[in-house]
Amino acid sequence: MPATWIITHIPRLQESCQRSANSVRRDRVFTRYTERCGNERVPTLNPASFGKLVRIIFPNVQTRRLGVRGESKYHYVDLSLVMDDDDRPYAPPIERPGTSSGNQDERRASNVDATKVFKSHISPSLDRPMSRATMETADFPAPSAAFLSKEADTAAEDVPSAQDAPSQRLDCKYIDTPTIRFPVKTMPGNVVAALPSIRRHLPGSMASYLGMPTPNSLSLPATSSRDTPIDFPDIHPYLEGEIYDAAIARALFHLYRSYCIDVIDAFRKCKEKPFFSHHSAFNGKMTVPVSKVFSMPCLAPWIQECDMRMYKQIVRFIAPLALQNVPDVVWNVFDRIGTKLVGHLISAFEEKCPVHVIVAKIVPAQRFVNVLKKLKGANTATLQFSRMLEDPQQRTQMWLDLMSIVDPDQLLEDSMPAPESIEKVRGMLKHDMRPLVDPVDEPLVHAAEDDPTSAYATLLNDDSVATVGILLPEVSDDPMSLLERWVNWLERLPQLYGGHHPQCMINWHTRLWKSIMTQMGRGVAHSYQSWWFVESFTTQMLDWMTQMEGLMLDSRSQTIADEREQDKCRQALSLPDEPFRGTKRKRTEGEAGFSPSAQMEQDSHASKRPVTAPKSSPTLPSTRVMDDAAPAIDDDATDADLDELRHGGPLDLPSFHTGLTSPVKGRGPGNHDDSGIGLGLDVEVDVDAEKEARRFNKKDWFLSSDPADSGIALGVMAQ
């Protein structure tokens, strides 16, 4: 055992045990040790190394197996634990409302405390040993103050939480959400069979959780919430009705809690190797009794909930990175973790754990990976968008194009907002777009805003629109940056869709920007590329916010979402099974009605059939009318015409030379009457038209048929 490990772990054990004339169970000493390690964010030792550490700190300590026959346990003699609250008998805790990642009040107050994180340095207390997490300060870079919400004091009161109660609107109650797919091709078959499936033909799939953005979606957690240990669910309610040792269950709780905290700290410090090693080493830290309790099927929901809270804490740490310039080395670590995490968990736990434990581990991991992969796209779009916002002339051109091209009524028609949201969207278009674009205050802008022929200017000057925008009024003393203003606008979009499912808001938002870009492209806007950056930023950032907030939902809301998907799956199972179109599958003998007697009868009939000569290779069918009834025409006269037909000839337009149309294109469908074939009838040919057709070449037809090149055609005529 390295000396640094001994120095690190000695204080945790010395403060938990003391010499006495009594004896204490060995697993209780290990439980107390893991609890202290979890509180102080120190990785725990495995049981073998822990036993060596006990003998180093307490020399000559003896181990005895004490207790009645069949229930005896190993004890440390002449050693006892320091009294702690954990020694009291178990009592069910009082349920507190809040999210799985902590209290709702603490989560709302995190934005208020975020601005204080960078103004003062909170030093650790000197009356207790400094933890390793406090010594290592290589956390993620703090976001600038511009990205923190300025209205944090009133955010909780101004914006109603859309997640307090599940939506019951019929138009969005069973709306489809994005699907998360497991990499089933690289998974063992027994694991794939145990994975959730939202549809019959989609093994290893689940619906993503979505949540409405909040005013502190992208804010950094407060210092208190970062340093406070995570509140994991109690293990005892999950074991009700089972025969188990409470001390063993408590040992598993503290050991698993310490493991989750170690994983969080490794990710916070971008330490890829320790991040994966903590998963691999967990099985080695469990004793045999603890491992048996860990493998119980009733604890699978507890394992999944613990992992969900662990990943929620990680996501809360990385949320502010969406607005920062992150080094490539950090993105590389995130990409490797997202690629290897699920497969690493399977390989680390499949040897000693049953399938239900593996599924409970990889389901939260796949949800976390799905959110993690969306972070980079949102960050890239944000950086591109922020650079574009720095050009005031470009923003002015964007506003002028919006005034002259976009029709607000067409936006409302194309985006199809909810009926109760139409007036709110109209007010948002009237009051919020100008502060977001922020054009230069110049006469040309005022003229565009007063243009009576502009549909958007008419909306701006329409006093009958009584609704207001969703942006808060500017504070002159502390103005917002443009990027912060756009982020604040996205965080307040749920005000337009109160009581709706987040996917309803996402669908409307996508259609809104699609309509804007369609009108901009149709109107040949000079600022089309700039508006494309706006669409890319808002779409990807809103996608990241809703996916991130969905992962942060409390367990009750996530359970309701799972039940909704199960109802949809049961309904799909009740419908007739329709095979995929365009796919071919070889029928089995049972499906084809195969029987040996029928096969023998077919063979006997086949043997009596006359043997025919082998057929020639298949060819395309010939054209019945054109090939059989086409008259013999001189090849030189029709070379140019046939070349047009092969390569897509011109429209049937008059030539600038003669005013004649193409002799080939002039042929109508006709009667196609072949009753006179072979009767020696003469075919009348217009000799003058045939001679004129020989004079045409491919270049002449191209010039005469392209209306866009009329200037070129006039030049040829002048010659």
For the stretch 557-580, pLDDT in tens is: 999 988 888 888 888 877 776 555
Q: How many CA atoms lie within 13 A of 672 on its CB side?
A: 8
Helix (H, G, I), strand (E, B) or coil at 18: strand
> CA dist 144 to 119, 190, 323, 481, Å?
12, 48, 9, 11
> Other CB atoms closer than 10 Å to residue 106's CB: what's the count?
18
What DSSP state is assigned to residue 121?
Answer: -
> Other CB atoms closer than 10 Å to residue 493's CB: what's the count?
21
**430 in Cβ contact with 409 (< 8 Å):** no
Specify if 404 maps to a domain.
Answer: yes
Model confidence at 381, pLDDT cuts 50, 70, 90, reads very high
Q: Which of 220, 175, 98 is nearest to 502 (CA)?
A: 175
Same domain membership, residue 476 and residue 418:
yes
pLDDT for residue 643: 53
Specify if 624 maps to a domain.
Answer: no
Residue range 372-393: mean pLDDT, rounded: 94
pLDDT digits (tens, 9 = 90+) for 651-682: 444 444 444 444 444 444 555 555 444 444 45
Boundary of a domain, candidates 573, 592, 609: 573
Highest mean predicted confidence (pLDDT) among 195-199, 528-532, 587-591: 528-532
Residue range 503-510: mean pLDDT, rounded: 95
Q: Retrieve residue 378's tokens.
A: 């949102």
Helical packing angle, 355-389 and 482-491, nearest 10°: 140
pLDDT for residue 175: 86
- Angle (CA) 33-34-37 rounded to 5° is 90
**222 in Cβ contact with 203 (< 8 Å):** no
Boundary of a domain, candidates 87, 106, 129: 87
Same domain membership, residue 337 and residue 396:
no
Residue range 704-715: mean pLDDT, rounded: 45
The Cα 549–Cα 562 span in angstroms is 16
pLDDT digits (tens, 9 = 90+) for 443-458: 999 999 999 999 999 9
Specify if 606 maps to a domain.
Answer: no
Q: Which residues contact 269 (CB under 8 A, 6 or more apart)?
A: 136, 138, 139
- Whichever domain contains 45, its CATH number is 1.10.10.10
Percent of the chain scoring above 70 in pLDDT: 63
**337 in Cβ contact with 272 (< 8 Å):** yes
pLDDT for residue 118: 31
Model confidence at 152, pLDDT cuts 50, 70, 90, reads very low
Model confidence at 218, pLDDT cuts 50, 70, 90, reads confident
Return mean pLDDT, the chain: 74
Same domain membership, residue 689 and residue 556:
no
**Res. 512: pLDDT tops 90:** yes
Specify if 228 maps to a domain.
Answer: yes
The string of DSSP codes covering 380-428 is: HHHHHHHHHHT-HHHHHHHHHHHHHH--HHHHHHHH---GGGHHHHHHH
Model confidence at 466, pLDDT cuts 50, 70, 90, reads confident
The Cα 334–Cα 340 span in angstroms is 10
Same domain membership, residue 538 and residue 434:
yes
Model confidence at 217, pLDDT cuts 50, 70, 90, reads confident
Residue range 109-126: mean pLDDT, rounded: 35
- The domain in which residue 7 lies consists of 3-87
Same domain membership, residue 712 and residue 638:
yes
pLDDT for residue 174: 78
Residue range 120-126: mean pLDDT, rounded: 32
**382 in Cβ contact with 537 (< 8 Å):** yes
The Cα 244–Cα 576 span in angstroms is 46
Specify if 590 maps to a domain.
Answer: no
Choose between 516 and 145: higher pLDDT: 516
Specify if 609 maps to a domain.
Answer: no
Q: Which amino acid is at 86?
A: D
Q: Retrieve residue 473's tokens.
A: 């009024």
What DSSP state is assigned to residue 81?
Answer: E
Query: If you compute the radius of gyration of the chain from its CA atoms, what whole number of angstroms results?
Result: 37
Percent of the chain scoring above 90 in pLDDT: 43
The Cα 570–Cα 560 span in angstroms is 15
Boundary of a domain, candidates 330, 347, 382: 382
Quick one: 412 exposed, middle or buried, by C-beta within 10 A (0-12, 13-18, 19+)?
Answer: middle
pLDDT digits (tens, 9 = 90+) for 262-305: 999 999 999 999 999 999 999 888 888 899 999 999 999 999 99
Residue range 111-136: mean pLDDT, rounded: 36
Same domain membership, residue 429 and residue 328:
no
Residue range 133-148: mean pLDDT, rounded: 42
Residue range 524-537: mean pLDDT, rounded: 96
pTM of this structure:
0.69
Model confidence at 83, pLDDT cuts 50, 70, 90, reads low
Which residue matches tokens 């996402």?
A: 506
Specify if 106 maps to a domain.
Answer: no
Model confidence at 165, pLDDT cuts 50, 70, 90, reads very low
pLDDT digits (tens, 9 = 90+) for 311-352: 999 999 999 999 999 999 999 999 999 999 999 999 999 988
Residue range 119-145: mean pLDDT, rounded: 39
Same domain membership, residue 469 and residue 370:
no
**548 in Cβ contact with 502 (< 8 Å):** no
Same domain membership, residue 143 and residue 183:
yes
Model confidence at 14, pLDDT cuts 50, 70, 90, reads low
**Res. 224: pLDDT tops 80:** no
Specify if 443 maps to a domain.
Answer: yes
pLDDT digits (tens, 9 = 90+) for 676-699: 444 444 545 556 656 665 665 544
How far separated are the first and last CA of the chain, in Å rounded? 97
Q: Which of 514, 543, 489 is nearest to 379 (CA)?
A: 543
Same domain membership, residue 556 and residue 414:
yes
Same domain membership, residue 439 and residue 345:
no
Alpha carbon 145 to chain centroid distance?
Answer: 27
**Res. 260: pLDDT tops 50:** yes
Q: How many CA atoms lie within 13 A of 384 on its CB side?
A: 18
The Cα 19–Cα 67 span in angstroms is 21
Domain count for the chain, please give it.
Answer: 4
Same domain membership, residue 444 and residue 312:
no
What DSSP state is assigned to residue 71?
Answer: S
pLDDT digits (tens, 9 = 90+) for 180-194: 999 999 999 999 999
Model confidence at 467, pLDDT cuts 50, 70, 90, reads confident
Same domain membership, residue 308 and residue 193:
yes
Residue range 74-101: mean pLDDT, rounded: 54
Q: Which residues contact 362 (CB under 8 A, 6 or more apart)?
A: 182, 191, 195, 342, 345, 346
**Res. 109: pLDDT tops 80:** no
pLDDT for residue 2: 56
